[in-house]
């Protein structure tokens, strides 16, 4: 099963490369995920960042107030 998934990933990647080589403009290029969906794409979704800059700043202020040195 895993070998089949890897083979499909490889086919999709190569197909995308062939398509992108023949593009005239950069905006015509596509990513492998946009060519055709695969079942394993559900599990490989990009994750959101765990914290924002504001979260970091508020944590840093609390830590400094508690006596932690940076």
- pTM of the full predicted structure? 0.59
The total domain count for the chain is: 1
b/e 4-38 (16+ beta carbons within 10 angstroms → b): eeeeeeeebeeebeeeeeeeeeeeeeeebeeeeee
CA dihedral angle for residue 30, residue 32, residue 38, residue 39, rounded to 10 degrees = -110
Q: Which residues span the domain enclosing 59? A: 2-66
Convert the pLDDT of each residue in 11-64 to its tens digit. 999 999 999 999 999 999 999 999 999 988 888 777 777 888 999 999 999 999
Can you give the pLDDT at residue 11?
Answer: 96
Residue 4 CA to residue 40 CA, distance in Å, equals: 11
Residue 47 has a pLDDT of 77
């Amino acid at each position: 099963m895993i070998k089949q998934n890897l083979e499909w990933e490889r086919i999709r990647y190569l197909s995308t490369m062939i398509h992108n080589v023949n593009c005239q403009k950069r905006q015509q290029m596509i990513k492998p995920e946009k060519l055709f969906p695969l079942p394993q794409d559900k599990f490989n979704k990009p994750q959101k960042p765990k914290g924002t800059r504001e979260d970091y700043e508020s944590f840093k202020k609390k830590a400094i107030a508690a006596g932690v040195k940076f």
